Chains A and B, each alone.
Chain A
Amino acid sequence: MTISEIKLHPIFPASSFELYVLFLCFSIWKSTLAWAKASALCLNFNCMLILLPVSRNFISFVRGTSACCRGPWGRQLDKNLKFHKLVAYGIAVSAAIHIVAHLFNLERYHLSQSEEAPGLPAALSKLGNSPNESYLNPIRTAGTNPVIELLTTIAGITGLVLSLALILLMTSSTEFIRQVSYELFWYTHHVFIIFFISLALHGAGRIVRGQTPESLLLHNVTFCRNHYDKWHAVAQCPMPRFSGKEPSAWKWVLGPVVLYACERIIRFWRFQQEVVITKVISHPSGVLELRMKKRDFTMAPGQYIFIQCPAISLLEWHPFTLTSAPHEDFFSVHIRAAGDWTEALCEAFGAQGQDLKDPCSLPRLAVDGPFGAALTDVFHYPASVCIAAGIGVTPFAALLKSLWHKCCDSQSQLKPSKVYFYWICRDARAFEWFADLLLSLETQMSEQGKAHFLSYRIFLTGWDEDQALHIALHWDENTDVITGLKQKTFYGRPNWDDEFKQIAYSHPSSSIGVFFCGPRALSKSLQRMCRLYSSADPRGVHFYYSKESF
């Protein structure tokens, strides 16, 4: 290796002073040090960001306090989990670059100590062998195995632990594993504690060394690099002195770690607060309604809460949308048994069996929240389209109740002039608990003369032959045979093209909010509809789409 082969990588810091500081290091490592340092900086930045999107109380606080978080910015706050995943991918990529770069570095350190090492790197590696000399190459002896060297340094061990923690975190967080067993994902994810501790300690050994500024003032680098065999003798080249770089990762992550620690403390405090269960109702199709009361609990329609049941699991908090309206003196959630935790909850509350449970024997619940979600924006658009599939109707239940109450209260003027509501459901029995609400809403609206305010359509997408015959027999009656409402149920899936065309025609130059809660496939097609039927003219009709899902 000749001096002419030593090239300084363009990523390298611009100041020429810093250039000289690391110049001698570069002669051993070529450009891989720059790759390692650049990716380390990316890693520091990403590790700082990764804890912020999962501090949900902090996000709630930001959403509540700043007025700028209405509209488009508020919608971005709803995508916090997507952002968390994106930053995680960034960490994975930067970590891969960092590890590969350091593998090359260690290999070159190792080679520079061997007998066959060429001039300058060998000379640099021998520094530190005599007393009064400071060393540059952290591998001090020739012939050792780099694996042993790795395992005897703080940076090496913490690096191995860090990469292992990252891999465990990622393999247990794939979509498949989250569906197979959410508990496995959640418990394994706590390995992040080990991750952050190792990250803070990673630079503590100060293994990356550079020439001290004082030594640089005395040591003329450009001349001395060619005369490394004369470093003692020549006046321009006194022995260079080196020192280790200070660890900096802890400065980046300290703030978010403290913030997240506060978040967990808040959750624990909420866990301590008392929640009184006032009523438990078991609906058909395995739906359980829980009505609760808690001190100082205020909510807006469309918000959701996290519920924990210590009797089932101490660490798990599960989100549920609130189905009660703000004016009611209780808050309620409707829970469907869809996994281990919800099944255990339904069983604990006696949903499965026929016997009544004694109120004192009901398990204790803890509630965290409420947390804001996009549905609170329904009142800000002049017209809104609410689409729900199956159990996804729960956020809209709260909204419709709230609308009903505002309708009764003749003082308030409602901003939205028209609300379209679509409910797509597979099972006729699931209508029962919601049908009462729609019935009272229907009568109330027609009494107040505001029957045109809410236009709703219910679509039944699954039936058997007996049901079909029954429906056909009662086709001509005034009220619908399944729901008992005046508005007839439609059968089969809605034709979204027709619906959107009609809505766009009825509201030519307004912004229309489209709110959806349900499966992903339908979400994609609705997004496509919104894009298709929004006019290119800024004064024309615009559909703004937002999706609710957990």
Chain B
Amino acid sequence: MGQIEWAMWANEQALASGLILVAGGIVATAGRFTQWYFGTYAIAAGVLVCLLEYPRGSRAKGSTLERCGQRYLTAVLKLLGPLSRNYYFRAALHLALSVPAGFLLATILGTVCLVIASIIYLLAAVRGEQWTPIEPRPKERPQVGGTIKQPPSNPPPRPPVEARKKPGEEDATPAGGPPGGPRVNPIPVTDEVV
């Protein structure tokens, strides 16, 4: 299990907790339960958590699938600098945000889920993981003139392509080309036109 990137799961869990906090808060506020003001707090905290967790960080190796439309929030998070990169901070923030919501029944599920997300973030931080934004890939522009090759440097007759390759370069086809290495013609070649 050494290869698991805990931060990825923590991110999913925190996003889900944020949504559950918002839902619980809406139920408590709309139903005007006792101490429903905790419900309004839960909505605000849930929205903050969702905004923070929506941009997915990029994985240590391999490509990461972006969430739809996340680059705007990624730009905002990049401005926060170390506050968004450091997972210790995120763990502490989630723990702190979850505590007030624990006093109201409707939001207690969101509290517990957010505490679990905080624990997973702590584990990720201990293992040295960091949030790195997913950079957009630069669009590949077709390079003008890139396919125009230099004209051949030696006059004809020229040995075929494989012979022109440097020795030691692998030949990709299993059938194999002629033995590699530039060939020296055994018979001196002269122009027959007199």
List the interface of chain A (C-beta within 8 A of B): 96, 99-100, 103-104, 106-107, 110-111, 145-147, 150, 160, 163-164, 167-168, 170-172, 174, 176-177, 179-181, 183-184, 187-188, 340, 428-429, 431-432, 464, 466-467, 469-470, 473-474, 481-482, 484
User: Are B5 and A181 within 8 A (Cβ)?
Assistant: yes
For A432, give the chain B residue with the smallest CB separation: B174
Bound Cα distance A467, B174 (Å): 10
User: Are A163 and B109 within 8 A (Cβ)?
Assistant: yes
User: Are A482 and B174 within 8 A (Cβ)?
Assistant: yes
5 residue pairs of the A-B complex, CB under 8 angstroms, read A168-B13, A181-B3, A432-B174, A467-B172, A470-B173
Chain B, range 129-181, C-beta contacts under 8 Å to A: 160-162, 165, 171-175, 177
Chain B, range 57-87, C-beta contacts under 8 Å to A: 59, 65
User: Are B1 and A183 within 8 A (Cβ)?
Assistant: yes
User: Are B173 and A171 within 8 A (Cβ)?
Assistant: no
User: Are B16 and A167 within 8 A (Cβ)?
Assistant: yes
Interface size on B, residues (CB 8 A): 41
For B174, give the chain A residue with the smallest CB separation: A432
User: Are B172 and A428 within 8 A (Cβ)?
Assistant: yes
Q: In the complex, given contacts A171-B13, A184-B1, A473-B160, what are 18 additional A-B residue pairs having Cβ atoms less than 8 angstroms apart?
A: A99-B109, A106-B105, A107-B34, A146-B105, A147-B102, A167-B13, A167-B16, A167-B109, A171-B9, A171-B12, A172-B9, A176-B12, A187-B1, A466-B165, A466-B172, A467-B173, A481-B175, A482-B174
B95 touches A (CB below 8 Å): no
B50-61 interface mask toward A, CB cutoff 8 Å, 1 = contact, 0 = none? 000000100100
Top 3 closest pairs, chain A to chain B, by CB: A146-B105, A171-B12, A181-B4
Which of B8, B20, B109, B116 is A181 in contact with, Cβ under 8 Å?
A: B8
Of residues B59, B65, B108, which shows the largest number of chain A Cβ atoms within 10 Å of its Cβ?
B108
Bound Cα distance A235, B17 (Å): 54
Known: A171-B12, A183-B4, A470-B177. A176 touches B102 (CB 8 A): no
Bound Cα distance A107, B108 (Å): 14
User: Are B105 and A482 within 8 A (Cβ)?
Assistant: no
User: Are B162 and A177 within 8 A (Cβ)?
Assistant: no
B106 touches A (CB below 8 Å): yes
Bound Cα distance A184, B174 (Å): 40
User: Are A150 and B3 within 8 A (Cβ)?
Assistant: no
Residues of B within 8 A of A464 (CB): 172
User: Are B161 and A429 within 8 A (Cβ)?
Assistant: no
Number of CB contacts from chain A to chain B under 8 A: 109
Residues of A within 8 A of B173 (CB): 428, 467, 470, 481-482
User: Are B113 and A164 within 8 A (Cβ)?
Assistant: yes
For A469, give the chain B residue with the smallest CB separation: B161
User: Are A147 and B103 within 8 A (Cβ)?
Assistant: yes
User: Are A168 and B112 within 8 A (Cβ)?
Assistant: no
User: Are B108 and A147 within 8 A (Cβ)?
Assistant: yes
Which of A180, A432, A466 is B5 in contact with, Cβ under 8 Å?
A: A180
For A340, give the chain B residue with the smallest CB separation: B3
Bound Cα distance A187, B173 (Å): 43
User: Are B27 and A100 within 8 A (Cβ)?
Assistant: yes
Residues of A within 8 A of B161 (CB): 466, 469-470
Of residues B160, B172, B177, which shows the largest number of chain A Cβ atoms within 10 Å of its Cβ?
B172
Bound Cα distance A431, B8 (Å): 37
Residues of B within 8 A of A164 (CB): 109, 112-113, 116
User: Are A174 and B109 within 8 A (Cβ)?
Assistant: no
User: Are B16 and A482 within 8 A (Cβ)?
Assistant: no
B188 touches A (CB below 8 Å): no
Q: How far is the CB of B140 from chain A (nearest CB, A)?
A: 17
Bound Cα distance A168, B109 (Å): 12
Bound Cα distance A172, B102 (Å): 24
Bound Cα distance A171, B171 (Å): 47
User: Are A160 and B109 within 8 A (Cβ)?
Assistant: yes
Known: A150-B105, A181-B3. A103 touches B12 (CB 8 A): no
Residues of B within 8 A of A99 (CB): 109
Residues of A within 8 A of B17 (CB): 167
Bound Cα distance A184, B124 (Å): 14
Bound Cα distance A170, B126 (Å): 25
User: Are A103 and B27 within 8 A (Cβ)?
Assistant: yes
Bound Cα distance A160, B109 (Å): 7
Residues of A within 8 A of B59 (CB): 180
Known: A106-B105, A183-B4. A172 touches B165 (CB 8 A): no
Residues of A within 8 A of B91 (CB): none
User: Are B172 and A177 within 8 A (Cβ)?
Assistant: no
Residues of B within 8 A of A428 (CB): 172-174
Residues of B within 8 A of A467 (CB): 172-173
Residues of B within 8 A of A473 (CB): 160
B22-41 interface mask toward A, CB cutoff 8 Å, 1 = contact, 0 = none? 01100110010110000000
